[in-house]
Amino acid sequence: MADKHPYISGSGSLFQAVAQLRKSFPTGGVTAETLKKLGLAPNNESYVINTLRFISVIDDEGKKTQEATKVFSQHDEAAFQKAFAPLVKSAYSDLFDVHGDESWKLDIDSLIQYFRSTDDTSSIVGRRQATTFQALSALSGHADVPAIKTTPTKNSVPKSTAKKAAKTQSKSTPERQSPTNQKLSPSQTNGAFGLTVRVEINLPADGDQDTYDRIFKSIRENLINGQ
């Protein structure tokens, strides 16, 4: 083949990109800038675009192809998988020429062997090529698609929730384990040497504020201020 088989370091970004394109395909095309604005495939934008181009979802300019229009208009999951599979099979025609329809479910080692020998790639790249094909196979209905995880940003927390959390924290009791460092004065050590004592206080989980106040008061009177 003129082009080597595509690869991505993590398949999750490919699943996320396809899921987003199924919801709404950007009218201006899919570019690295588009993926950045959508928060998809961080540091993997070019790899995702290369993969989408390889299976003819987008053209060289990032625009949706005629074949992809028919595929991504499918709302039903099974219908989408059935329409998506021919795109993958056509792009990987060399693999299917060798292994037939068994290609969909080849184990990872067989895929790595194939891609390394075909593209003369390293072990790392060969494995990534294999896992990329497995991801496309899953999107084609030949394996389970993992649940897509999203990482909430700091600004995604509702203000009401943030205020409630801050209010709760301000009224909360001290941590259950509160390490305290107390350096003894020369008079307490007879001037011979300095000593630092680390005290760990295990507070009762069901104690109330008065309980904690008494504990810390006792520490202050008997340990910190004691002679």
pLDDT digits (tens, 9 = 90+) for 24-56: 999 889 999 999 999 888 888 999 999 999 999
For residue 201, count other CB atoms closer than 10 A to its CB: 15
Q: What is the pLDDT of residues 153-172, one digit of tens each?
A: 444 444 544 455 445 444 44
Is pTM beyond 0.75? Reply is: no
Assign 151 a pLDDT band (cuts: 50, 70, 90).
Answer: very low
Least confident of 40-54, 137-151, 189-203: 189-203
State whether the Cα torsion 188-192-194-196 is positive or negative. negative
pLDDT of 175 > 50? The answer is no
pLDDT of 150 > 70? The answer is no
pLDDT of residue 149: 54
More confident site: 66 or 192: 66
pLDDT of residue 224: 65
Q: What's the mean per-residue pLDDT of the chain? A: 80
For residue 193, count other CB atoms closer than 10 A to its CB: 8
> Residue 54 has which token pair?
């390889």
pLDDT of 58 > 50? The answer is yes
pLDDT of residue 173: 45
Q: What is the pLDDT of residues 91-120, one digit of tens each?
A: 999 999 999 999 999 999 999 999 999 999
User: What mean pLDDT do residues 77-99 have?
Assistant: 96
Reduce the DSSP state of residue 132 to 3 states and report it. helix
Q: Compute the 3-state secondary structure of the chain and give helix, strand, coil in percent, each to the nearest 5.
A: 55, 5, 35
User: Which residues, in sequence order, are bridge partners of residue 179?
Assistant: 200
Q: With helix as H, strand as E and coil as C, how does 73-91 read?
A: CCCCHHHHHHHHHHHHHHH
pLDDT of residue 194: 56
Q: With helix as H, strand as E and coil as C, how does 139-191 read?
A: HCCCCCCCCCCCCCCHHHCCHHHHHHHHHHHHHCCCCCEEEEEEECCHHHHCC
pLDDT of residue 114: 97
pLDDT of 135 > 80? The answer is yes
pLDDT of residue 59: 94
Residue 112 to residue 126: CA distance in whole angstroms: 5
Q: Phi and psi (nearest 5°) for 166?
A: -65, -40
> Residue 81 has which token pair?
């998988």
> Residue 52 has which token pair?
């989408």
Reduce the DSSP state of residue 92 to 3 states and report it. coil
In this structure, are residues 51 and 6 in contact, taking their beta carbons and an 8 Å threshold?
yes
pLDDT of 196 > 70? The answer is no
More confident site: 146 or 108: 108
